[in-house]
Amino acid sequence: MLEITKNLLIAFFAVAVLLPVVRYALRRLSPAQNLEVLSAEEVQYIQKKEFKLTIAYYFFACVLAVFSAGMLALISSIIHASTAHLHVLTPNFRALFASGLLIGLTLAVIPLRLAQRALLGHDYELYKNYLSHTEGNRSNRIYTILLLVMLLLSGLVGWYSLRWHVAIDEDQVEITNLLLEQRTYQMQDIQSIHYLGGEGEYLVTFKDQTHLDMTYLKPVQLEMIALLAAQSGKRVIR
């Protein structure tokens, strides 16, 4: 939970830092012309309204990030389900949260756009005028292109994150990474099995110093750990 909260805070901080930079770049690309000048009071007033939109964006991002990570974990379990192996481990919610967060931050723009008029009410036109001053005349078109690029990037990240899985049989462990590169280890190749203190948290080390951290995999069952220990002849180290 602490790791997820930290990722959320880092992402929100990155958005808060990048937004002024993006706005400056947009203003330089398409400077506003022939617009009514806003007074200092109007700017201050609409900035308070914009803070409300920012909170709404963060809310949408949190909800969609959690939903996306959960869906990725579910899809991963479905596409790698197999009766050909004794155990198949796939990335859990914790492992896929970073990918889900990227998808959530991207998709959150869509409900925010749809809810802008309802959130701002009669201040909507004033806010559009404010955006024209701060982001230029063609910001909507550029934002649409950026959204499409981010959707494509998020889709690619999500797709690659689903590839990682581990298949365990009686005599071997097969690890498939994000690039679909497979490594097969015999049970005798296991050098150590460490229990990390939490439910399902084990670290398996092989003789070539490859580490398999089961903290980010599911489902990790005691029967499977017992199989690894029995077949490799290694005791679980606490």
Tens digit of pLDDT for each residue in 137-192? 777 788 888 899 999 999 999 999 999 999 999 899 999 988 888 899 999 999 99
User: Strand 236-237 to strand 190-195: parallel, antiparallel, or no bridges (unpaired)?
Assistant: parallel
Task: Give Cα separations from 49 to 46, 108, 118, 120 (angstroms).
Answer: 5, 18, 12, 7
Each residue of 47-66: b (16+ CB within 10 Å) or e?
eebbeeeeebbbebbbebbb
Q: Which domains does the chain have, with CATH numbers?
A: 2-161 (no CATH), 165-237 (2.30.29)
Q: Give the per-residue pLDDT at 1.
A: 66
Q: Give the per-residue pLDDT at 219.
A: 87
Q: Give the per-residue pLDDT at 35.
A: 61
Sequence-distant (≥ 6) Cβ neighbours of residue 35 within 8 angstroms: 129, 132, 133
Query: Can you read off the two tokens belonging to residue 71?
Result: 């869906």
Single-letter amino acid code for the residue at 135: E
Q: Give the per-residue pLDDT at 32.
A: 59
Q: What is the DSSP letter of 84?
A: S
The alpha helices in 162-235, defined as continuous H runs, are 222-232
Q: Are 231 and 170 in contact (CB under 8 A)?
A: yes
What's the whole-model pTM score? 0.85
Average pLDDT by consecutive 10-residue portion of the chain (238 residues)? 77 80 72 68 85 91 93 94 90 92 92 90 85 74 88 93 92 89 91 89 92 91 91 87
Per DSSP, the residues of 122-150 read GGHHHHHHHHHHHH-TTHHHHHHHHHHHH
Q: Which of 122, 42, 80, 118 is closest to 218 using CA atoms?
A: 80
Q: How many residues does the chain have?
A: 238
